[in-house]
């Protein structure tokens, strides 16, 4: 309950800062922080088959991806924002779609606090991070380039990945001990993100 309240509080603070600095003049709405995904879930809709698909993709996936993520992988394809990501079939997922973004949340250990959210959005992704954030260049297996922002605080590891021109991203949120347990698999999922243009 406290973690959810912190996320909602952070989302409200971030939104207020965004309005103050942008003047609401942007033609496209910008999502200020991926942590808002918890409040966006109320608007999820996984019934739009023409927009989003999740399928078994062993036939269309490279042998390297199968080896990296395990024998049984699934591929999520988002037609709205034209991207795909591979993930192990045994992990629980939730497909989200709001007016400004859509994507897939991949849960680890059946715990909604340990997740990867891969998404596209209509406005540029921006982050409210300040002190203590580490930035690294990131390149997916398909050659898509971006920046990975890493922050450790209060026993958690938060990573935000912004790819391409800033309309495609991922948020990783784990307790540090759980992150270490799944680190290799987490990075393989992030590396599998690709544009479907």
**pLDDT recorded at residue 141:** 98
- Strand boundaries in 31-176, DSSP class E: 52-56, 73-78, 83-88, 92-97, 101-108, 111-121, 134-139, 145-153, 156-163, 168-175
Q: Which residues lie below 8 Å from residue 90, measured CB to CB, with a gap of 6+?
A: 70, 72
Q: Which residues of 59-73 are buried (b: 16+ CB within 10 A; e: fewer)?
A: eebeeebeebbbeeb
**pLDDT recorded at residue 127:** 83
Low-confidence spans in the chain with pLDDT less than 50: 1-5, 9, 11-67
- What are the extents of the domains in the chain? 2-195
**pLDDT recorded at residue 68:** 54
The CATH-assigned architecture of domain 2-195 is 3-Layer(aba) Sandwich (3.40)
Q: What is the DSSP letter of 42?
A: G
Question: Residue 110 class from Cβ within 10 Å (0-12 exposed, 13-18 middle, 19+ buried)?
Answer: exposed
**pLDDT recorded at residue 157:** 96
pTM of this prediction exceeds 0.85: no
Distance CA 146, CA 153 (A): 23
- Please report, for residues 22, 99, 110, 173, 185, the alpha-carbon distance to residue 106 in angstroms, rounded to integers and kept in the order given: 32, 21, 10, 11, 12
**pLDDT recorded at residue 71:** 65
**pLDDT recorded at residue 4:** 43
Residue by residue, DSSP assigns 156-169 as EEEEEEEETTTTEE
- Please report, for residues 19, 59, 70, the alpha-carbon distance to residue 65 in angstroms, rounded to integers and kept in the order given: 41, 11, 8
């Amino acid at each position: 309950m406290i973690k959810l309240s912190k996320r909602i509080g952070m989302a409200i603070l971030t939104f207020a800062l965004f309005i103050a600095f942008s003047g609401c003049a942007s033609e496209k709405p910008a999502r200020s922080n991926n942590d808002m995904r918890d409040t966006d879930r109320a608007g999820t809709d996984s019934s739009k088959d023409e927009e989003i698909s999740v399928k078994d993709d062993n036939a269309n996936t490279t042998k390297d991806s199968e080896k990296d993520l395990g024998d049984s992988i699934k591929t999520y394809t988002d037609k709205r924002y034209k991207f795909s990501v591979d993930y192990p079939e045994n992990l629980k997922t939730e497909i989200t779609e709001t007016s400004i973004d859509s994507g897939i949340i991949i849960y680890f250990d059946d715990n909604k606090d340990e997740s990867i959210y891969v998404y596209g959005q209509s406005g540029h992704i921006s982050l409210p991070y300040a002190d203590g954030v580490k930035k690294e260049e990131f390149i997916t297996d398909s050659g898509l380039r971006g920046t990975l922002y890493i922050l450790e605080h209060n026993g958690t590891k938060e990573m935000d990945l912004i790819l391409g021109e800033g309309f495609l991203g991922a948020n990783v949120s784990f307790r540090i001990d759980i992150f270490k347990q799944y680190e290799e698999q987490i990075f393989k999922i992030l590396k599998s993100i690709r544009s479907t243009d």
